[in-house]
Amino acid sequence: MATDALVEMGGKLAKLSEESLRELDSILPKYWFKGNPVDLVGDANIERFVKATQTCLKDAEVDGLLLIYVPQAMIQPVDLAQASLETLKKARKPILAAWIGGAEVEKGKEILIHTLSSRPIRQITSCRGPFWMVQRSS
């Protein structure tokens, strides 16, 4: 749905570089989609999430990133937020974080907002759901 919304608004997904695709191949299971959007698949752990985020942020073709988290057994929202902070602080590209799950994800979302509060953060609400945007200048 996020890809559909992007396209409906005139945007397009980045074409990931061959280098990024090779790096993602080493991080993700053999059966991953092998393109954009990058789906970490249901058994993803925190390390896979962070490494995939770092890989996409390094790609010159990627202008920004949408990180989508929904509650699952392998990754708790607070743990993911804490593990992602260093990568997100260093990023020089816009990052949208959609943490979907109501009260269950609230503490993780608050960690991101509090820790990154020196950066402009805006909540963006659309028919597709809530997004929190962290803007960074290059």
Query: Which residue would you say has higher pLDDT here, 43 or 20?
Result: 20
Q: What is the pLDDT of residue 116?
A: 63
Q: Residue 62 corresponds to which tokens in the numbers above?
A: 């990627």
User: Using the 8-state DSSP alphabet, how is residue 9 labeled?
Assistant: T
Percent pLDDT > 90 in the chain is 42
Residue 4: the pLDDT is 80
What confidence tier does 38 reach under pLDDT thresholds 50, 70, 90? very high
The C-alpha angle 33, 39, 45, rounded to 5 degrees, equals 125
Is 98 within 8 Å of 68 (Cβ atoms)?
yes
Check: CB of residue 52 under 8 Å from CB of residue 24: yes
Instruction: For the chain, list the domains and their CATH numbers.
Output: 13-134 (3.40.50.261)
Q: Angle at which helices 18-27 and 46-58 pack, to 10 degrees?
A: 170
Q: How confident is the model at residue 118 (pLDDT cuts 50, 70, 90)?
A: low
Axis-axis angle for helices 77-90, 106-115 (nearest 10): 20
pLDDT of residue 134: 42
Q: For 20-48, what is the mean pLDDT? A: 93
Q: Could you report the per-residue pLDDT of 47-105, keeping only the tens digit for each?
A: 999 999 999 999 999 998 888 889 988 899 999 999 998 898 888 888 878 888 889 99
Distances 94 to 37, 121, 137 between C-alpha atoms, Å: 16, 10, 8
- Under 8 Å between Cβ of 46 and 77: no
